[in-house]
Amino acid sequence: MAITSDIEKPSPKLIPWTEKLAQVPWWALIILLLGVLIVYFIFTSPTYEDAFFFLIAGVRLTIQVSLISFGTALVVGLIVGLGRVSKNVVFYNLSSLYVEVVRGIPILVMLIYFAFVLTPLALQLLHWLSTAMLQNLAIGPVVGLAESMANLNIRDVPMVVRAIVGLAFCYGAFEAEVFRAGIEAIERGQMEAARSLGMSYFQAMRYVILPQAIRTVLPPLGNDFIAILKDSSLISVLAVRELTHLGKLNRARTFRTFETWNTVAFLYLILTLSLSILVKFIERRMTYEK
């Protein structure tokens, strides 16, 4: 099309037709078609239907885990991000240590480490603390607390909690870098103007820098929210009954590999696609306000 239209005068009818064709979001149509196909199977094929109703319970847990760990990661990330731009030597170095360590370890390893190394370690520490309390400070309320601490078993810490903490810890480091970049993107004059009006460093951060920074980091944050949803599949190694783990169980139960993983992939795709639409919507709202 391009070659002929460059030489000859473009025919007014042909161009709109091909251009319209080129503008069709084919990728979305293909996804839609695959989706319709799977939905059709779920309604017509008993094996797909069985897989779907078995897996749907995992979707709920996947969403819950993603939301809670991402929310926590945002809080951690904001605090650590402030540390990364802080002039306070201790705050800066602690934040940098955390970010560099976490970024250098695979999430899967980190999750296993949290679940099977750090949790028992924390429990041991708790037990040791309770013995120390009982020996040195045996007064009414303290005894009760110490005894309940001593009775805490490793099995009392559910895997899903360890998984959420692990995910939040990993993503906290990523979000910290996102926030740091966002804060550093705001020109220096903004902080100077705020400080010159008598605002403290934290007031300037709170009312001038962060409201602007958050707007700039919204796209990467949305990206990471989708990423954490996908990475929540990693916690299946901790036998948390989220979507991927239920997928494994369903395959073992029915030996229907094809149908099981088709449905799992389809469900993840639905989740991530609706999330990215939501993120786009929020971004648009935020920029309108400006």
What is the contact surface with other proteins in residues (CB under 8 A)?
A: 187, 189-190, 192-200, 203, 207-208, 211-212, 215, 290
3-state secondary structure of 62: helix
CB of 199 to other proteins, least distance (A): 6
Nearer residue to other proteins within complex by CB, 132 or 197:
197
CB of 188 to other proteins, least distance (A): 9
Please, how many CA atoms are within 13 Å of residue 28, restricted to the half-sphere of its CB? 6
d(CA 81, CA 177): 6
Q: To which residue do tokens 């251009």 refer?
A: 19
CB of 179 to other proteins, least distance (A): 16
Nearer residue to other proteins within complex by CB, 45 or 190:
190
CB of 212 to other proteins, least distance (A): 5
Picking from 273, 277, 272, the residue whose alpha carbon sits closest to that of residue 62 is 272
Nearer residue to other proteins within complex by CB, 190 or 276:
190
CB of 27 to other proteins, least distance (A): 35
Tell me what percent of the chain is helix, strand and coil, each rounded to the nearest 5. Answer: 85, 0, 15
Nearer residue to other proteins within complex by CB, 221 or 235:
221
Helix (H) or strand (E) holding 127, with range, is: helix 119-136
Helix (H) or strand (E) holding 237, with range, is: none
Nearer residue to other proteins within complex by CB, 168 or 213:
213
